Structure formats: C-alpha cells, structure tokens
Amino acid sequence: MSQRSCLSVILAAGEGTRMKSAMPKVLHAIAGLPMVAHVVKAAEAAGATGLALVIGHGADEMRKAVQKFAPKAETFVQEKRLGTAHAVLAAREAIAKGYDDILVMFGDTPLIDAAALAAARQKLAEGAAVAVIGFRPPNPTGYGRLIEKGGRLVAIREEKDCSEAEKKIGFCNAGMMAVAGNQALRLLDKVGNNNAKGEFYLTDIVELAGADGLDVVATEASFESALGINNRAELAEAEAIWQARQRREAMLAGVTLIAPETVYFSHDTEIGADTIVEPHVWFGPGVKIASGAKIHAFSHIEGATIASNCDVGPFARLRPGADLRQKAKVGNFCEVKQATIEEGAKVNHLTYIGDARVGAGANIGAGTITCNYDGFSKFFTDIGEGAFVGSNSALVAPVTIGKGGYIASGSVITESVPDDALAFGRARQKTLPRKGKELRERFASAAAAKKRAAE
C-alpha cells in the first residue's frame, strides 16, 4: 500500500453556528492547534500525498490559516451547502488527478486516529471500491447504522429509516470513508438528491457501488477517534481526551507527571525522559525539554527550550525565546523572555530577564529587572560569565555587565561594567538621628487635626 497515491479530501465548510463564534468552527483549537490541522496531520500520517480542503464560511480566514499548517494543500470553496457528496465534488479538480485512494474526512473530527485511516486504505488495496469507517458509540441513538451482510456493507441507514431490528445495531457511521480513485467521480456523479432535504448525501455511494457489483466494506475506529465537534462543550471534551492521551504517552516515554490530570500539553510539546513535572504546569506551543529537567508547580512555559538538568519554577513563566542551557535555574515568580540563561546560571526569585544573555555561572539576585523597552524599541542586556547581580537591581539596556562583574544591591545600572568590576548605582544613604520620631509625631498631629475638622 505504501506505493499507492492518496488524496485526502477534508470537508471544512460548515459554519458551526452552535459554536456561537464568528470564527470558522474548524479553526477552534485543540492543544493549541486548529482542529482541522489535527485532521491534516492524521491524513498525512496515514500516507496522504495530496490534500484538498473544501471550505465555505470564512474562506479568506481559512486560507490564511491553512497556509500555516498545510501550505501545499489545495482549497476549494463550496458555494452552496447541498450535502456531503456535493461538498466532496467541490474538489473535483483534485480528485480527477488520478490518485489511487481518496480519503474523505471531516475537519471537525480532530481525534481521528491515523491507523483507522490506514486500515480503510488497506481495504482499497485489497480490492474494495469503498471502505466506510464505523464506530461503536456508548449510545447509538441518532447515528446512522452500518448494515452488513456476509461481511459486506450494503447500506448506511439513518435512524429515522431503521427498522426496530436495525435500531439495535451498535455499529454506526463515523462519516469518513476511503474510495477507490478510479471509481470516485463516477460514483459521486451518480448520487441524487431525491430526499426530504433535496441534498446530495455521500452515504448513498454505498448502495450505488453495491448495485454496480463493487466490493463495499466497513472498518472500525474507536469512539473517541470518530468524535465530531459541534459546540464548545464538545470541544472541551475533545481537549480532555487529547490531553489524557498525551499525558499517558509522556509517562510511558519516561516522564514523571506527579498529578497528570493537572498538566496541559501543546500539540508539539517535546519532553525528554527522566524529566519531572509537578502539578499545574501549562506547556504552550514550541516547548522542547531535554532529559532530567525539573519543572515545578504552577509554571507557564511557551516557545522555550530547556536543556538537561535545568530547574524551573515554581510559579515561573518562560515566554517565547527563552533558552535555558544545562543546569540553569529559573526560580519562583521569575519571567524570562527572548533570553539565554547559560549553563549553571541562576535566576532565583521575583526577577524579569528579557532580551538578554545571562552568562554561565552568573547569579541574578531577587527583584532584578532588565529594562529592555523604552516604549518604542527593545534593547539587549549582556551579563557575563560568573557575574553577580545584587537584589533589587535595574539594568537599563543596552548595557553589558562584564565577566565576573559585581552589581551592588539596589543599583540602577545605565553604563556598561567592565570585567571583575564592582558597580554601585544608587543614592548614598543618609541617616538623621531622631528625625524618624519627629516625622511620626508630625504625621499623627496632622491626622488628628483632619479628624477633628471632619467632626
């Protein structure tokens, strides 16, 4: 089957009115990725060599989005919504290119398993003209039933048309199917609209193919894989399923999740073995973590690279461009953005490091800020190897702290500091004996006078 060409036609033209959103339904995200992009990934994993997306509502927005996750996909607009077969035929030009297999999929089934798609394609390789993907929901009410005889699929019966015996069938239509490329257009063109809604139903090709003596079969996917999303409640359910799958996969790969149900991954999160993740950690897109790191509770990490044996959190925020090298530490209530924390460097408490480099072995004291933005432009701060920055310091970029430089606590540093130099950037302390007592008495007297005036 590996040598067979395959086109995946993904139907993504639905308006999704039940989502109560101005955004096309299939662009709502699961794990930070539009649900239709999950469908594209599954199609590609199942061997699809061509992609055709049938779009409608929000066509321009859809095209822009598709360029990000499927730049080689062709898009076709379904001008009028006249049924699923009509939607597939919107991609006639792509289907006519002569692919061996045509996979028909839906953009709102983000959990579809690539193995289920591959199984349907395998049936085409064995000679079937149509392979319908079915599933067994906990409650089949409302789903079309797959009617089989002698190992062949003879019809897809909508529940309202089912006999009492057929209603007891638990094997239901998931909507997706694989069709032999040399039969697809001929069968689709034979689909009529002689029904109550006057629409062209893709499911009709089962009986049309059977009437022509072609082999039609059903394959089975899990209930979760076939789950379609119509509203935000179902979107949340799909997110929960995806997260549960990913957590299990991470743990089986050697990652320790102390409270798995509280950890949230993105679609592209990479975590090495022997990493420990404490409760309530959020991984946004673009996170790569090497082996042996420790991510403490309530940390938020996005677009960051974390090397082996780093220590992050608790309550740390790593924003895009954060690059932690081996054994670096970013502690509690710290934020790092577009900055490199080199090997063994420590950013321990209540600190912001943005647009900067912190050299190997450097120590950044509590309350330190790299002042990287003047309201118009960003500037860079370079902190050398082994430097020590005292607590409550402000480093006003652009500025360089040399190798081994020492910044006294409470300093505002506006000029670069040479290697091994000590820099003070604060006002000289002045102590006035008894003036504290006098000041308190004056304030108390003023407050008492104000109270009397109010009475």
pLDDT in tens, 364-376: 999 999 999 999 9
Three-state DSSP at 87 gives: helix
Delimit the CATH 2.160.10.10 region(s) of the chain.
Answer: 249-423
Summarize pLDDT for 218-272 with one digit per residue, the tens.
999 999 999 999 999 999 999 999 999 999 999 999 999 999 999 999 999 999 9
**449 burial level (CB within 10 Å; 0-12, 13-18, 19+):** exposed
CB atoms within 10 A of CB 430: 6
If one counts every other C-beta atom within 10 angstroms of the C-beta of residue 388, the result is 17
CB 7 within 8 A of CB 102: yes
* Structural contact between residues 109 and 37, judged by C-beta atoms closer than 8 angstroms: no
- State residue 60's pLDDT score: 86
State phi, psi for 34 to the nearest 5 degrees.
-50, 140
Structure tokens at 427: 């006002």
* Sign of the CA dihedral with 163 first, then 166, 172, and 177 last: negative
Please name the residues in contact with 333: beta carbons below 8 A apart, sequence gap of 6 or more.
315, 316, 349, 350, 351
Report how far residue 220's alpha carbon sits from residue 234's, in angstroms, rounded to the nearest whole number: 22
Beta-carbon contacts of 5 under 8 Å, excluding residues fewer than 6 positions away, are: 49, 50, 98, 99, 100, 101, 181
**Residues annotated as part of the active site:** 349
In what helix (H) or strand (E) does residue 438 lie, and over which residues does it extend? Answer: helix 435-454
Output the six-digit token pair for 186.
Answer: 């001929």
Q: In 3D, which of 186, 29, 32 has the Cα closest to residue 102? A: 186
CB of 361 closer than 8 Å to CB of 345: yes
Return the closest-CA partner of residue 21 out of 9, 35, 37, 11. Answer: 35
- Nearest-angstrom CA–CA distance, 448 and 246: 65
Q: What is the DSSP letter of 373?
A: B
Residue range(s) occupied by CATH 3.90.550.10 in the chain? 6-220
Question: Would you state the pLDDT for residue 148?
Answer: 92
Tokens at residue 234, please? 């179902």
State which CATH number among 3.40.50.700, 3.90.660.10, 2.160.10.10, 2.170.150.20 fits the domain covering 249-423.
2.160.10.10
Hey, is 60 helix, strand or coil?
Answer: helix
CATH H-level, domain 6-220: superfamily: Spore Coat Polysaccharide Biosynthesis Protein SpsA; Chain A (3.90.550.10)
Residues β-bridged to residue 417: 401
Residues of the chain with pLDDT under 50: none
The residue written with tokens 């990913």 in the block is: 246
Provide the token pair at 244: 């549960």
Q: What is the pLDDT of residue 428?
A: 84
Contact indicator for 254, 292 with CB cutoff of 8 Å:
no
pTM of the model: 0.88
Within a 10 A sphere around the Cβ of 444, how many other Cβ atoms? 10
